[in-house]
Structure 1
Amino acid sequence: MTGSSQESPAAGVPVPVGAPIRVAMSKWGDQPHWRYSAIFLGSDEHGDWFGCPAGTHMERPGAQYVAPVDQVCLVPGRGSDLARSFVATFHAVGGPVSVYVDITTPPVWEGEDLGAVDLDLDVVRGTSGRIWIDDEDEFAEHRITFGYPERIVALASASCDRIHSLVSAEGAPFDAASSAPWFTLLEALVTDRPSPSGPRGV
């Protein structure tokens, strides 16, 4: 873990630790998908990390979601398209799952805005430790209805297989040790959290 921002956001334009960022996922064909605000946490050898405190509001056309627990997310750093075609979300204890990895096109930073195309497939580690691939039926449907190019189909399939193997092996960055310092930093940065009696300082 580093204590300062790195060059990967916006190809050399640093994003300060603690700065608000905007995440805008889309579906193929520039169709809007999940949108939400988050907090930039920093970078390490695995890529860029950002956090979503419990209570973060997320929305997409026809759906809304409020994060029930803190989440930290990893955007892979420099590398091949295969190595970078995912966004990983790690949930604090009490969340609906432990790890949720969206298979995407390689994420792109534009200043403090982060975007990627969601390619349907997800690799999930549940709270019991069970690991599975989600939304394979959606991927099979969308490759036809959205007209995914064959190179995108191949990239998504290969990335999904790669991530499934890494998550199953529980190696970095999909081990608890890799995300733990970022949860600690997020906790330190979020100084005002709701409580049953109203907001309080932490």
Structure 2
Amino acid sequence: MSAADDRPLASAPPSVPGEPVRVRAMKWLGQPHWAFDGVWLGADAHGDWVGFPAGTPFARPGHGFTATWESVSLFPRAGWAAAFNAGHPRGLGIYVDLSTVPEWRADASGATVSYIDLDLDVVERTGAPAFIDDEDEFAEHAVEFEYPAEVVERVRADADAVLRAVRRREAPFDGATAAGWLARLAERSPVE
């Protein structure tokens, strides 16, 4: 083990656009959920943006797929993580996971952003109003995994606030914000 391997984990995203990023979503008790790789695009007032070109594999225990569309994800300093899709085959434009605040870590293998998925999602599809999904799963898991009351209250409040922001087209859900980051992703040459 070298001295570099003894470094403490950093809690900041990459600083150079194009650097690889590993995304890890877990469930409440640390069970693996989704894992996938992208490239850091940059940051703005809303948070850190990671891009996923078409051909990106997404995997979770027992399920996986390879995206045929491009997407960017926003990892804010708040209790959610949002995906914005371009050309999704089922019209999925915005998908927001309600979660713990995304945390950045870096070590010799690169940067990772991770969060605990707390079940509720705000979803918007082409031609349909945004809605909150997985209410039943959230209610079941709150009991089964004994989510603390303050977590339940915060997640519920965050879901309502994000839903309002999506419906009102407030940035970063205004369309233009994500379009700018999708354009940055499109300008990048394919990751080898």
TM-score by length of 2: 0.88
In 2, Cα distance between equivalents of 1:22 and 1:128: 32
Q: Per the alignment, do residues 128 and 105 of structure 1 end up closer, same or farther by CA in structure 2, a change over 3 Å counting?
A: same
| 1:85 aligned onto 2:87 | no
The CA deviation at 1:13 is 6.3
Count the aligned residue pairs.
Answer: 178
Which consecutive unaligned segments of at least 5 residues does structure 2 have?
A: 1-9
User: Whose RCO is larger (CA < 8 A, sep 6+)?
Assistant: 2
Which consecutive unaligned segments of at least 5 residues does structure 1 have?
A: 1-9, 78-83, 194-202
Query: Partner letter of residue 156 of structure 1?
Result: V
Query: Partner letter of residue 102 of structure 2?
Result: P
In 1, Cα distance between equivalents of 2:148 and 2:76: 23
The CA deviation at 1:40 is 0.4
The CA deviation at 1:93 is 2.6
In 2, Cα distance between equivalents of 1:138 and 1:12: 32
| 1:109 aligned onto 2:104 | yes
Tell me the equivalent position of 2:173.
174
Query: Partner letter of residue 147 of structure 2?
Result: Y
Tell me the equivalent position of 2:34.
34
Tell me the equivalent position of 2:57.
57
TM-score by length of 1: 0.84
Please state whether the residue corresponding to 2:87 is helix, strand or coil.
coil
The CA deviation at 1:94 is 3.7
Q: Identity over the aligned pairs, expressed in percent?
A: 41
Q: Per the alignment, do residues 118 and 94 of structure 1 end up closer, same or farther by CA in structure 2, a change over 3 Å counting?
A: closer
The CA deviation at 1:129 is 3.7
Please state whether the residue corresponding to 1:98 is helix, strand or coil.
strand
Please state whether the residue corresponding to 2:137 is helix, strand or coil.
helix
Structure 1 contact 24–35 (Cα < 8 Å) conserved: yes
The CA deviation at 1:11 is 4.2
In 2, Cα distance between equivalents of 1:170 and 1:13: 27
In 2, Cα distance between equivalents of 1:72 and 1:61: 23
Structure 1 contact 72–183 (Cα < 8 Å) conserved: yes
Please state whether the residue corresponding to 2:101 is helix, strand or coil.
coil
Name whichever of 124-133 and 21-30 sits farther off. 124-133
Please state whether the residue corresponding to 2:64 is helix, strand or coil.
strand
Tell me the equivalent position of 1:197.
none
The CA deviation at 1:32 is 0.6
Moved over 2 A (4+): 10-15, 93-96, 190-193
User: Deviations 1:127-165 (Å, cap 9, x if unpaired)?
Assistant: 114211110000010001111111111111111011011
Q: Per the alignment, do residues 123 and 12 of structure 1 end up closer, same or farther by CA in structure 2, a change over 3 Å counting?
A: closer
